């Protein structure tokens, strides 16, 4: 009967005994999920934050199971931050979903392709640019439990990502980062700032799909207040910009997740050199989904 009172984000301590750990800090460690129970716990955390906290609309399956689920979960790796402070009841308090290029090509492609044209970064030309033996990595479904949104937790999560990048020879990573809400005009300053200052180079050409394209150029460069625009950026996007990311052309409205998305493309060597508590501010993490 005791197990009925446990949070759905709690996992069995016995399952974690032999799982490799990327990094530790106090009662927290970071690792890749090694069981379906751990994936279930990550999905439960995502549900609590995306649907309970951020106003996303669950589909019937997610609503019935109280977990954020889609078909990509079965083929992705799930990076977890686990809190061991309660004896015998370790709990998943942070997660990122990771999809390697080799896996995406063996299945139905990348999630981001539902919003953006990825043809150029999947081309032979771009493969030559990132180097022989290197591959792309898509990051998504990022979230951290409210009580753990600290510099220490965020740093630990990114230490895990950096280890994963080295382990799997990742050359570039990408994903769809989000602004809250489905009204792009509410983010006109920030979106315009990204458009004028951080757009993906023409030769890479990542653009929102025509039927989903929202023009980010809402405020001309000569009228843009850069300081106000930078303050309006979500913390996660600010962190990517510090590492020198590029942003795709066009925003995309995602009604299910109650977000306005932008595409992020980032060379990996900058992450492995600079992951630290300076990377992301200690604020609520929006979904990179």
Residue 99 pLDDT > 80: yes
What is the reported pLDDT for 278? 43
Confidence of residue 18 (pLDDT cuts 50, 70, 90): low
Question: Are 271 and 162 a contacting pair, CB within 8 Å?
Answer: yes
Confidence of residue 268 (pLDDT cuts 50, 70, 90): confident
What is the reported pLDDT for 279? 43
The string of DSSP letters for 31-50 reads EE--SHHHHHHHHHHHHIII
Q: CA 42 to CA 222: how far, in whole Å? A: 44
Sorted by where each starts, the structural domains of the chain and their CATH numbers stand as 2-274 (3.40.630.30)
Residue 15 pLDDT > 70: no
Q: CA 219 to CA 196: how far, in whole Å? A: 9
More confident residue, 197 or 5: 197
- Model pLDDT for residues 155-165, shown as the tens digit of each residue: 888 889 988 99
Average pLDDT of span 40-66: 94
Measured torsion, CA atoms of residues 272, 138, 153, 34, in degrees rounded to the nearest 10: -110
Q: Encode 88-103 in three state secondary structure.
A: CCCEEEEEEEEEEHHH
Query: How many residues are recorded in the chain?
Result: 289
What is the reported pLDDT for 152? 85
């Amino acid at each position: 009967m005791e197990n009925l009172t446990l949070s759905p984000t709690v996992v069995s301590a016995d399952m974690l005994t032999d799982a490799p750990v990327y990094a530790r800090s106090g009662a927290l460690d970071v690792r890749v999920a090694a069981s379906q129970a751990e994936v279930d716990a990550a999905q439960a955390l995502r549900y609590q934050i995306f649907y309970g906290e951020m106003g996303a609309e669950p589909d019937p399956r997610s609503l019935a199971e109280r977990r954020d689920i889609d078909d990509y979960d079965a083929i992705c790796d799930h990076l977890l931050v686990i809190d061991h402070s309660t004896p015998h009841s370790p709990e998943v308090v942070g997660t990122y979903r990771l999809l390697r290029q080799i896996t995406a090509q063996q299945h139905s492609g990348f999630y981001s392709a539902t919003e953006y044209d990825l043809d150029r970064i999947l081309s032979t030309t771009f493969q030559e640019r990132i180097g022989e033996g290197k591959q792309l990595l898509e990051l998504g479904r990022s979230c951290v439990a409210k009580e753990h949104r600290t510099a220490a937790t965020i740093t630990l999560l990114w230490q895990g990502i950096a280890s994963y990048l080295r382990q799997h020879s990742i050359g570039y990573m990408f994903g769809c980062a989000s602004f809250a809400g489905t009204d792009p005009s509410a983010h006109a300053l920030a979106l315009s700032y990204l458009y004028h200052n951080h757009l993906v180079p023409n030769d890479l050409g990542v653009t929102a799909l025509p039927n989903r394209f929202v023009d980010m150029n809402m405020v001309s460069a000569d009228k843009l207040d850069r300081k106000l625009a930078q303050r309006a950026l979500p913390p996660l996007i600010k962190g990517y910009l510090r590492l020198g990311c590029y942003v795709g052309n066009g925003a995309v409205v995602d009604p299910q997740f109650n977000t306005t998305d932008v595409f992020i493309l980032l060379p990996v060597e900058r992450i492995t050199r600079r992951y630290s508590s300076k990377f992301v501010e200690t604020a609520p993490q929006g979904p990179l989904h």
